[in-house]
Amino acid sequence: MSKKELTENEIISMKGRLNVFIKLFITVLFIVIFSELIGVKKYSLGPGSVVLLPMLYAVIIGLIITPDILGKPLNFLRNLISNEEIELAGTMVMLALLPLGVKYGTLVGPNIVKVVQAGPAFLLQELGNLLTPVLALPLALLLGLRREAVGGTVSICREPTLGVIGERYGMNSPEGTGVLGTYMIGTVFGTIFFGLLGSFAVTSGLHPYALAMACGMGSGSMMTAASSSLSAAVSPEMKDTILAYAATSNMLTGVTGMYSVVFIALPFTNWYYTKLAPKFSKKGDK
Amino acid sequence: MLKKNLDQLKLLIVIGILILVGQKVGFMVVDKEFSVAAALPGTILIIVVCLLSLMIKECLPNLKFPAFAWATMIGLILSMPFMPTAKAFLAYTNEVNFLSTTTPILAFAGISVGNKVQELKSMSWKIVLISLLVFTSTFFGSAIIAQIVLKLQGII
């Protein structure tokens, strides 16, 4: 931590830092082998089923071996995974996502006709994101948050939203605190949450293809968690279409996400806030 | 090739190895046949596309289109039915299992958020509750509209 910040180019350079790479890669190799050995598990829960995939074990194991959790009591873990390895892991996520991106492409490509036919649904479902402030802003105000609520509920708060809020209000503003809060919870628990929601959502009665489109929220790892567990929970012949829809929706969100926050979600949330906030303030003052 | 791209290539090769090892173990558990040799050409093709998407992103910094999206785009174009590349590209890359590519990502992701746990503890339970509602409503908001439009179109 006290060492100088490395640039992105320096992080991926092995020169003089080979031990950091070796420690991280061996650790991940073991996590991968262990997670794959457990394999896919399917449990029925109430009216639906929950599908546990190797990636879910991998994210949990990866998290608990870090210095703040198991690394604290266990010395050898702290030596294995320190801040340097954690920093490299962050860059590795971005690179490791790419092969998955290619695989998604090969799922969309052969189904391109089907995807284009569903074009209107893809574009309009982006508007569904407005349900986020509609429901979450009142809760945030009820819990006593003020302007933090605007940042935290304007959208699912992935990187584009972080950028927009940071530029408009500054990261140290109340809005910045809010957006950072939801962003962090999403980063740490998002894949776990959507991995479970993806399979359980089938019980909502919504069609798996509609749910598939909803999986694309602008985060590669959340989309993967949601769509993989969704496709594992329904009949196998739907699998390819589900993954293709999810990947396409995610790609579109990548393109439109920032603009929909700037032009639609943020103005709406601000307007909604000015309407709602007075009702929630204790003495009726602003 | 730039030094940066060479570094990226080395790391992508490591990721390729992690994917293949994971797939070998995963297939073993369910008693499925898997030969690393058969999956090797597909893995190499995937790595080449990944490197290409990183280079494209670097060349177009103003577009704000992430490398992940470029990778999907290239994979998509190469595998469209009317493309001459489709048959071979799909045949090779299909040897690489979809789920096997996800496990290393999430292993790295888990480790990468390790230094944020303290920060998270200092955040109140309120933000956790709000975030969970944010996730759920984003998901179902989109799903409900998609359901209506797909129904109107007669697709479902």
Residue B113 DSSP label: T
pLDDT in tens, A221-259: 899 999 999 999 999 999 999 999 999 999 888 778 778
Listed in sequence order, the DSSP H helices in B61-116 are 67-78, 86-93, 98-112
pLDDT (0 to 100) of residue A1:
41
| Tokens standing for residue B134 | 């944010």
Residue A283: pLDDT over 60:
no
Q: Residue A87: enclosing H or E segment and its boundaries? A: helix A83-108
Dihedral, CA of residue B84, residue B90, residue B91 and residue B92, to nearest 10: 110
pLDDT in tens, A87-117: 999 889 889 999 999 998 998 899 888 889 9
Q: B11 contacts in A (CB within 8 Å)?
A: 12, 92, 95
pLDDT (0 to 100) of residue A282:
59
pLDDT (0 to 100) of residue A215:
96
Q: B6 contacts in A (CB within 8 Å)?
A: none
Q: A247 contacts in B (CB within 8 Å)?
A: 72
Q: Do A128 and B74 touch (CB under 8 A)?
A: no
Residue A20: pLDDT over 90:
yes
Burial (CB count <10 Å: 0-12, 13-18, 19+), residue B15: buried
Check if B94 contacts A (Cβ < 8 Å): yes
Q: How many other CB atoms are found less than 10 A from the CB of residue B91?
A: 11
Rounded to whole angstroms, how far apart are CA atoms B16 and A286?
A: 56
User: ipTM greater than 0.90, yes or no?
Assistant: yes
The shares of helix, strand and coil residues in chain B, as percent rounded to the nearest 5, are: 80, 0, 20
pLDDT (0 to 100) of residue B131:
96
Check if B93 contacts A (Cβ < 8 Å): yes
Rounded to whole angstroms, how far apart are CA atoms A161 and A175?
A: 11
Mutate to test the interface with B, among A55, A77, A85, A98 (most CBs of B within 10 A): A98
B141 and A130 in contact (C-beta within 8 Å)?
A: yes
pLDDT in tens, A131-181: 999 999 999 999 999 999 999 999 999 888 988 898 899 888 899 989 989
Rounded to whole angstroms, how far apart are CA atoms A239 and A123?
A: 22
Q: Which residues of B100-121 are buried (b: 16+ CB within 10 A; e: fewer)?
A: bbbbbbbbbbbbbbbbbeeebe
Mutate to test the interface with A, among B9, B48, B138 (most CBs of A within 10 A): B138
Nearest 5°: the CA angle B136, B138, B140 is: 65
pLDDT in tens, A254-277: 778 778 899 999 999 999 999 999
Q: B15 contacts in A (CB within 8 Å)?
A: 92, 95-96, 99
| Tokens standing for residue A157 | 């708060």
Residue A286: pLDDT over 50:
no
Average pLDDT, chain A: 90
pLDDT (0 to 100) of residue A3:
53
pLDDT in tens, B77-128: 999 999 999 999 999 999 999 999 999 999 998 898 887 777 777 778 899 9
Residue A58: pLDDT over 90:
yes
Rounded to whole angstroms, how far apart are CA atoms A269 and A148?
A: 12
Q: How far is A196 from chain B, CA to nearest CA, in Å?
A: 11
Q: How far is B37 from chain A, CA to nearest CA, in Å?
A: 18
Which residue has tokens 């992105």? Answer: A8
What's the whole-number mean pLDDT along residues A40-64? Answer: 86
Domain boundaries, given as residue ranges, for chain A: 8-280
Least confident piece of the model among A6-20, A96-110, B127-141: A6-20
Residue A284 DSSP label: S
3-state secondary structure of A43: strand
Confidence band of B61 (pLDDT split at 50, 70, 90): confident
Q: Do A207 and B14 touch (CB under 8 A)?
A: no
Q: Which residue has the higher pLDDT, B2 or B46?
A: B46
pLDDT (0 to 100) of residue B1:
66
Rounded to whole angstroms, how far apart are CA atoms A224 and A269?
A: 28
Q: B75 contacts in A (CB within 8 Å)?
A: 101-106, 108-109
B74 and B44 in contact (C-beta within 8 Å)?
A: no
Share of chain A above pLDDT 90, in %: 58
